[in-house]
Chain A
Amino acid sequence: MGGQVDFDSFFRAEYHRLVAIGIAMVGDGDTAADLAQESMTRALGDWRHVGMLDSPAAWVHRVMVNLSIDRYRKRQREHVALSRLSSAPSSVAAEQSGECWSAVNELPDQQRQIVILRFVADQSMEQIAAALDISVGTVKSQLFRARHSLAKLLGAEEVVR
């Protein structure tokens, strides 16, 4: 991206994507919004640095993913009761979404980060590699393993590419 980015514009462009990441990872929109605000607060707090990055979005996505993982772990203990408290899923699709993200949350951290950044944040392999400070090859291999694991967990077909 290069150059200083206006924070407010950046916020408006990325906020909903962050909330989506949070929803995928912690399953609760309110918590996701809290985490998104926390991520953005961190970005704003260091905006002179973050705003100059090639991809401030990648930076804040990574913060969001890490916060969500942390939050998810805390939530594991309350998972079952809360899932019932939050009322029955509004649809079969909602339940399937929940199962999908539950399966994603069973993955090792790095694979989970990659899946979320790839599918929810729509980041390219290169962007994910930059965000996580790993090689593109690692991203691809970890994504392959993640999809393999998810296919087993969800009883779905794998796509051979």
Chain B
Amino acid sequence: MNIDEIIEQAAARARADAERHDAEGALRMVRQAGTGVLPRRRQAGRWLVVAASLIAVAGLAVGLALIAGRDPQRPSSPVSPSTATMVLVPPPPSPLPAAPPTSSTLAAAAADGLFSPGCVESLYGRTRGPDPLPTVTTPLNPISSTDLQPLPEQPALQIALPRSDPAASTGGGSTLVRPVPGGVLIAMSKQTGSKATPTGAGSLLAVVDATGSVRWVRCFEGYLAGVPAAAVVAPVADLPDRAVIGLRAFDGSIRWQVVSLVNGVTSPLHEVLGVDEAVFRRPMLLAGRHLYVTGGEMVDIDLVAMTTVPMPPYPAGTGADGRQMVVDGQLAIVLDGPDPHIVMALYRDGRWIQDGAELDRLLSTQISNDPEGQRIVATTPSGTELWSIAGASKSSAWPLANDRVLIGGCFGGGGPGPCQEPAVIVADRTSGEVVWRRHGVEPVVEAGDAYALVIPRRVDGTLGAAEMIDVATGADAGGPQLRADAAVWAADGVVGAIGPDVVSVWYPASAELPSRTVALLPGLAEPGGPATIPTTFPAGECRTADAAQTVQNFLELAQTSGLNAASRACALAGKNPSAERPDDWLVTLLPDSATVVEEPTGVSFDPASDAVIFEVRASERSPNLTGVLIRVVRGADDTYGVDDVLAS
């Protein structure tokens, strides 16, 4: 494909995805916001303290860092002793406002019927009695809050997740898992209605202790906003017993809540902050430690207070857009120049800094792709090019100790198709000297000063199982291989893999935690128990298949189970038996034996003919096929074969 075709194809996909968003609900939201509920404030020049109630939200910055893993471009700063140790003991609850638990207003019928088994609330201390808090007395010392550590072969937790209830849910949804003191926070959201036109949503929030017990479960109406992006803000060092969540109603409005990680009690964010609820009725973005309420104004929630911060006037000659970041624990605003890799000014300590030397001292060297040529380039914040790597492009860069940087990307082998030379390198950040290079791995999930979690990438672009490598040498570090079909995350030295049915959580081997299985809800089989495959599905509805879903495995499932074709197809969706070339089997069944197609991008069920329809996109090797639908039907002998190529 030429470049225009590539962009147009991507644009078409973006437009198709956009059509799934509810315009009428958004219009109501905008109308509501535009009625002057919150006066727009665009005056600049001063920092205005609106409220200073002690708040439990401390930590949006650290929270986001937890969510995001690690800030790949942030200035390196030493970890303070207070945060360098991970302790698995839930802290005593810090006082929430006197507002009663709001489960009655947030828990909703909308959550019922979306999960299978259904979501059942259990607030710690209410439905489970006055038992003492479950604690883990084994401290994970000494573990940096940002560094990966060697992992044991077996996960400490295998948590069985509820499925979507096929009678009510589209099957779509999101799952987010983050470490919290004493365990992990799990946030799940499901939708009702069809995938194209969702009619509602429900969510589940829970904490599972590292000891293997479910601390509490909450059920909410609405979608956990932005899951898994940024809406669930995990706790922070100073007030680690709570998190902030945003519940998006179907009309687009978001209710921000503070949830106690100790007992699951929620309180509205505005009540915790002691501010007018109208503050949070505006469209709002959550980024770092800031909540952006309107253009030109942000709500800065630091460790103790909420402050609205009008943007300071920008110095002459700089652009209109600033980006906010935390430099050495302080809020800073960075103005980029025409070249986004050059910083024009930095707002810090109430003043603008434009001196190049000072900028270079305060901000770290940027590792970026040079859009003018295929190379990775390292520049100082003020724009001095330090070094470059020709014929390469980066996907991520991770600052390391000793002024080194780990870079994952494509290092040569240009041309059409997937990157031919994916690799990870470690280089000297100042000189660019490459310390080591490891071929065939990329992307990088997380990198610390001692270890990195990387994913092998085959030459055809498919991904393998995540594995740990030694950052000093690039050699294998041993430990488990995390399944390729799972979404792998790492935070605070804890590593997890989110599969369709099970979340696996590895704590560092030094913690010596036994492996435990947990069912998140009553009635849910623990991992390793009998498989539960839904037997009925709404007509025509089925989850989009994972990239790694294979026709071969569909057949295997179809031929070994007594379920109908729809059940087989839908049960298959989301599973990933990691076949090497999943399309090979399909290729053999196509009428044109010379045709080669990529793996299916979707699967649906035609109840009229008891047929499964695979959506297959054309590959460069089969340019005559575009948007092909392949109908696979069950024959008289209960075997399956390609019945028709429906469109091309």
Binding-face segment, B9-17, B202-210, B266-274, B525-533: B9-17
Q: Judge whether B225 and A153 touch: CB under 8 Å.
A: no
B369 touches A147 (CB 8 A): no
A16 contacts B19, C-beta separation under 8 Å: yes
Taking a contact as CB atoms closer than 8 A, the residue among B7, B74, B336, B487 that contacts A87 in the complex is B487
**Closest A residue, CB atoms, query B368:** A106
Q: Distance (Å) between the CB of B255 and the closest chain A CB? A: 15
User: Complex Cα distance A124/B282, Å?
Assistant: 33
| Interface assignment of B382: CB less than 8 Å from any CB of chain A | no
Judged by a CB distance under 8 angstroms, whether A40 is at the interface is yes
Q: Determine which of B13, B285, B371, B396 lies in contact with A107 in the assembled complex, contact meaning CB atoms within 8 Å.
A: B371
**Does chain B have a CB within 8 A of A8?**
yes
* Residue of B with least CB distance to A100: B10
A93 to B626, CA, bound (A): 12
Pair B547/A69 contact, Cβ less than 8 Å: no
Residues of B within 8 A of A126 (CB): none
Q: Is B324 on the interface with A (CB-CB < 8 A)?
A: yes
Q: Take A81-B445, A82-B68 as given contacts and tell me if A151 and B29 are in contact as well, using a CB distance cutoff of 8 Å.
A: no
CB of B278 within 8 Å of the partner chain:
no
In whole angstroms, what is the CA distance A33 to B18 when docked?
Answer: 8
- Judged by a CB distance under 8 angstroms, whether A29 is at the interface is yes
Judge whether B287 and A74 touch: CB under 8 Å: yes
Within 8 A of A (CB), among B1-48: 1-4, 6-11, 13-15, 17-21, 23-24, 26-27, 29-31, 33-34, 40
Q: How far, in whole Å, are A131 and B599 apart by their CA atoms in the complex?
A: 41
Asked if B545 CB lies within 8 Å of chain A CBs, one says: yes
- When A15-B23, A81-B445 are in contact, do A20 and B617 touch as well, CB less than 8 Å? no
Q: Which residues of B contact A157 (CB under 8 A)?
A: 1-3, 416
* Chain B residues in 8 Å Cβ range of A86: 174, 228-229, 487
- Residues of B within 8 Å of A29, CB to CB, are 17-18, 20-21
Binds B, one of A41-49, A51-59, A132-140: A41-49
A37 touches B30 (CB 8 A): yes
The answer to whether A66 has its CB under 8 Å from any CB of chain B is yes
Is A128 engaged at the interface, CB distance under 8 Å to the other chain?
A: no
B residues near A33, Cβ cutoff 8 Å: 21, 26, 252
Q: Does the CB pair B15–A16 fall under 8 Å?
A: yes
Question: Nearest-CB distance from A154 to chain B (Å)?
Answer: 6
B485 lies within 8 A of chain A by Cβ? yes
**A150 lies within 8 A of B7 (CB):** yes
B190 to chain A, nearest CB (A): 14
Contacts of B415 in A (CB 8 A): 155
Which residues 78-125 in A have Cβ within 8 Å of B in the complex? Answer: 78-97, 100-102, 104, 106-111, 115, 119-120
B18 touches A88 (CB 8 A): no
A92-B547 in contact (CB<8A): yes
Q: Bound complex: CA of A77 vs CA of B70, how far in Å?
A: 8
Are B547 and A95 in contact, with the CB atoms below 8 A?
yes
Instruction: Please measure, in the bound complex, the distance between the C-alpha atom of A111 and the C-alpha atom of B419, giving whole angstroms.
Output: 24
**Given the complex, which residues of A lie within 8 Å of B373, measured CB to CB?**
152
In the assembled complex, the Cα of A82 lies from the Cα of B20 at a distance in Å of: 21
Asked if B73 is at the interface (CB within 8 A of a chain A CB), the reply is: yes
B368 → A minimal CB distance (Å): 7
Over the window 299-334 of chain B, the binary record of Cβ atoms lying under 8 Å from chain A Cβ atoms (1 yes, 0 no) is: 000000000000000000000111111000000000
Chain B residues in 8 Å Cβ range of A83: 443
Nearest CB in chain B: distance from A102 CB, A: 8
Query: Which of A41, A80, A115 has the most chain B CB atoms closer than 10 A to its own CB?
Result: A80
A68 to chain B, nearest CB (A): 11
Contact B547 A88 (CB under 8 A): yes
Q: Is the CB of B21 within 8 A of A16?
A: yes
Contacts A36-B26, A79-B72, A82-B228; A101 near B10 (Cβ below 8 A)? yes
Contacts of A24 in B (CB 8 A): 10-11, 14
- Interface pair A31/B340, CB less than 8 Å apart: no
* Distance in angstroms between the alpha carbons of A23 and B487 in the assembled complex: 20
Residues of B with C-beta under 8 A to A115? 7
Cβ of B371 and Cβ of A108 under 8 Å apart?
yes
- The reply to whether the CB of B212 lies closer than 8 angstroms to some CB of chain A is no
| Residues on the A chain within 8 Å of B17, using CB | 19-20, 23, 29
**Taking beta carbons and an 8 Å cutoff, which residues of B are in contact with A?**
1-4, 6-11, 13-15, 17-21, 23-24, 26-27, 29-31, 33-34, 40, 64, 67-74, 174, 176, 225-226, 228-230, 248, 252, 282-285, 287-288, 294-295, 320-325, 336, 338-340, 368-369, 371-374, 393, 395-396, 408, 414-417, 419, 443-446, 461, 463, 485, 487-491, 498, 544-548, 598-599, 601-602, 617
The chain A residues found within 8 Å of chain B, CB to CB, are 8, 11-12, 15-24, 28-38, 40-42, 44-45, 66-67, 69-71, 73-97, 100-102, 104, 106-111, 115, 119-120, 147, 149-159
Extra 16 A-B pairs, beta carbons < 8 Å, given A15-B23, A70-B322, A82-B68? A20-B17, A21-B14, A34-B283, A37-B26, A67-B295, A73-B336, A81-B67, A87-B487, A88-B487, A93-B9, A93-B601, A150-B3, A153-B374, A155-B416, A155-B419, A156-B416
